[in-house]
Structure 1
């Protein structure tokens, strides 16, 4: 590895940044894919609008490079459909059109950046790198909020809200709820909870987990569907029916 080369930018969980390149020119999209893979990113290609929409659902990219002029579903329509479903993935438009009104139309439609063909490959990579940094930073900020159904917990502000109603928790109740939410749908044993929330040197009552689970249920499950569940003989889990 070249020691002068910076470490690859990654997602919050440490996995490679995902980029979807959409262009009906196979040679161009393959060239971009290889350049992005050289960045250490996971890059895939789509040859048309419908394939792009399918891959967005399956691949969940962090960035999309989108050609405007494509047969069938063009780039503008792809973006319109993405935004209509609430998908705010950053989009870099590529197009042969260089008129100012076309650039304005692309940005106004919800695009984040715009390059005209022919373009400099290095410039595309640099622009995507900047977009990726902003996306990763936003995702990292969002990571402070845990969500299960209509229940949210903010690890930065220590705020817990369910269905718009603030819930006041003690410090230990908060720690227990956070541990459950960090492992939602996973069944946690009593010993795991004691270890992570109270630590090994806990010297209190042996029924402390059950007591605090009941406290949380009174404050949280009373506001809607039951989220905290007991799995007999195993432990506890938090999950929503949604």
Structure 2
């Protein structure tokens, strides 16, 4: 893979590039957000690694700008900011994965391999319109509707809902959701998945009946029309 690394800690950036090249990757460095933005938009990369705290343009805004132009490129946030709120903000901006500094290079390598294998919803499913009850998701237009009313979702909310619709009426564990939707494994005890489920409930269920997103205590979550 050809990877762009946007990281203002030059020593760390060089070490990451060296580790990647030793594993057969090609890597380009940018030490600030403006340079990273120019390279990301002007060149073709298979994946982007970026910090959040960057001079010029911060990683959150940069991720949004890159995602708007190149919606399918995998983006991994590599940052010292590790709270749930930081992760939510990054994923809402369009990041595909999130790794907190300091990190083990072996874990970074595993995350990159997982992202490289990701082919996206459209490639995996020939039918790009998913329907369940009165809920409809269009993977090409990225439009979600319930009872004909459009629902605005963030990129990660969209991907989570799509996965639940693909596996409707089956209990999905937190571990499965983390693995399949975020291509990663979160520390035990995190409420990250629960936070996004609550986001979806507020948008998909709050003003509609019947409720479709349900919690199975101790097991996970399920998309099911209990009115049937």
TM-score after normalising by structure 2: 0.51
Aligned to 2:53: 69
Between the aligned partners of 2:2 and 2:96, the Cα distance in structure 1 is 17
2:44 and 2:33 map into 1 onto residues whose CA distance is 15
After superposition, where does 1:1-242 map in structure 2 within 5 Å? 17-134=1-118, 137=119, 141=123
After superposition, the CA RMSD in angstroms is 2.2
Q: CA deviation at 1:86?
A: 4.1
- Pair 86,60 (structure 1): closer, same or farther in 2 beyond 3 Å: closer
CA deviation string 1:109-164 (max 9, x = no partner): 11001011111111111101110122xx45xx59xxxxxxxxxxxxxxxxxxxxxx
Instruction: Find runs of 4+ consecutive structure 1 residues off by over 4 angstroms.
Output: none
Q: What is the number of residues matched between the two proteins? A: 125
DSSP-derived class of the 2:55 partner: coil
The residue aligned with 1:238 is none
Supply the distance in 2 between the matched residues of 1:30 and 1:104 (Cα, whole angstroms). 28
Counterpart secondary structure, 2:39:
helix
Q: Which residue of 2 aligns with 1:152?
A: none
Does structure 1 retain, via aligned residues, the 8 Å contact 2:41–2:66?
Answer: no
Structure 1 portions without partners, runs of 5+: 1-16, 143-242
| SS in structure 1 of the partner of residue 94 of structure 2 | coil
**In structure 2, C-alpha distance between the alignment counterparts of 1:26 and 1:86, rounded to whole Å:** 26
- CA shift for structure 1 position 55: 1.2
- What's the counterpart of residue 145 of structure 2? none
- C-alpha displacement of 1:82: 1.0
